[in-house]
Structure 1
Amino acid sequence: MMLQNMIGGLVLLHLCFCHLESVFGDEVKSVSVMEGDTVTLYTDVTHIHTHDVIEWMFGVQSPDEIIAEIYREADITSFINERLKNHLQIDDQTGSLIITNITTEHTGLYQLEINRKPSVRFRHFSVTVYARLPVPVISRNSSQCSSSSSSYCSVLCSVLNVSHDVSLSWYKGKSLLSSISVSDLNIRLSLPLEVEYQDTNTYRCVVNNPITNLTQHLDITHVCHTSAVGVHCCGFTEAVIRLVVSALVGVATVGVLIYDVRSR
């Protein structure tokens, strides 16, 4: 009798240990994808048993809503969340969750619960979906004065409607010249650069997020061709001085002409 009690206690202790390990020993797996891609969240089981019950849950802060269920014994697979169900599939053999044509609305925490009596297994996934990057546009920076030398041209690299964790950078060859980042949604990023007209170096503007990037190369001749003869932009004080000098020159010219006419 004592031996049976000891065996029963060991079995119970083993089951409790397995349960605690599955609940508290699970790590959160991070998954990063681009909008429009297909991603699979794996159960890491080779096949679903007859009496298995599988639940997939989703939430932005924590998994709090059941989005898909499998009852193998009743041969039932159901997708519950109306907003997500058109994007969801389940692997019939393993129970892995497949999200197709993924959008930024699918960013959040996912929890898998496999009820395989007498134990329960859990897996957690943190999915981050990044919006597609726009192609950088390089243009003449008409709002920015170039340096005092007419041999310089100011250019501007811009991207529109960028999402979180996006950076915009200027490179000269492989060297990083400047960079700017954004953490907000749907804003414009712009980064200026001043180059010489005769510069033969390779300049490129790069927009990137943590998983991909897009590059636009600077064609100095094309972007700055309107300034090939040298366009100099000046401040207010210099503009006033130029205006006054021009007026004085005009008055002096008129005076000379009048004097010449009277002399004749």
Structure 2
Amino acid sequence: MKDGDVIQWWFGDENTVIAEINVKADSIAVYDDVLDGRFRDRLKLDNQTGSLTITNITIKHAGRYELQINTVRKIFSLTVFDSVHCCGPTEAVIRLVLSALVGVATVIILVYEIRSRRAERDQAHIHTSGSV
């Protein structure tokens, strides 16, 4: 992450912020008491990568999630199946896959942001150098 980056995780159609990192302000926050406490003690936000993990996931955590890094937003849809046949290893694999997908998406967005900023900076430098 870079200085000035703001990463926010949103949930649901009502666009409720459930977690955020503000690098410039050096703050990290998890709002697990929102939405009637459905995320209470379940959200883990990685302050190095911005990845969000939901532990002990249930069907009430299914829905629309948005990841916003500065001005770039990506939308995810999470489906959770409520099954009595689900066992420990299956749940672990599901969590691993979801965490990997979110991590990959985060890295892609961060690389895009870094390249865009670098290109803008280089373009500004060329423009400044050319007008001297």
Q: If the length of structure 2 is used for normalisation, what is the TM-score?
A: 0.57
Tell whether 2:40 aligns with 1:89.
no
> Deviation per CA, 1:93-128, whole angstroms, max 9, x where unpaired?
21011111111110110001111xxxx111111001
Counterpart of 1:132 in 2: which secondary structure?
Answer: coil
For residues 198-213 of structure 1, the aligned pairs below 5 Å read none
- Which residue number corresponds to residue 9 of structure 2? 56
For residues 69-80 of structure 1, the aligned pairs below 5 Å read 69-80=20-31
- Which residue number corresponds to residue 66 of structure 2? 111
Counterpart of 2:41 in 1: which secondary structure?
Answer: helix
Q: CA deviation at 1:71?
A: 0.8
RMSD: 2.0
CA contact (8 A) 2:46 2:52 kept: yes
- Which residue number corresponds to residue 53 of structure 2? 98
AA of the residue aligned to 1:95: G
CA contact (8 A) 1:70 1:76 kept: yes
Q: If the length of structure 1 is used for normalisation, what is the TM-score?
A: 0.30
- The higher-RCO structure (CA 8 Å, 6+ apart) is 2
Q: CA deviation at 1:63?
A: 5.2
Tell whether 2:73 aligns with 1:122.
yes
For residues 1-264 of structure 1, the aligned pairs below 5 Å read 48-59=1-12, 62=13, 64-82=15-33, 83=37, 84-115=39-70, 120-134=71-85
Counterpart of 1:131 in 2: which secondary structure?
Answer: coil
CA contact (8 A) 2:63 2:79 kept: yes
Q: Gapped runs of 5+ residues in structure 1?
A: 1-47, 136-210, 212-264
CA contact (8 A) 2:32 2:42 kept: no
> Deviation per CA, 1:24-56, whole angstroms, max 9, x where unpaired?
xxxxxxxxxxxxxxxxxxxxxxxx112101111
Q: CA deviation at 1:92?
A: 1.7
Counterpart of 1:130 in 2: which secondary structure?
Answer: coil
CA distance in 2, matches of 1:79, 1:51: 19
Counterpart of 2:24 in 1: which secondary structure?
Answer: coil
Q: Gapped runs of 5+ residues in structure 2?
A: 87-93, 95-132
CA distance in 1, matches of 2:48, 2:85: 39
Higher helix share: 2
CA distance in 1, matches of 2:53, 2:23: 18
AA of the residue aligned to 1:67: I
CA contact (8 A) 1:66 1:81 kept: no
Q: CA deviation at 1:85?
A: 3.9
CA distance in 2, matches of 1:102, 1:122: 23
CA contact (8 A) 1:63 1:109 kept: no
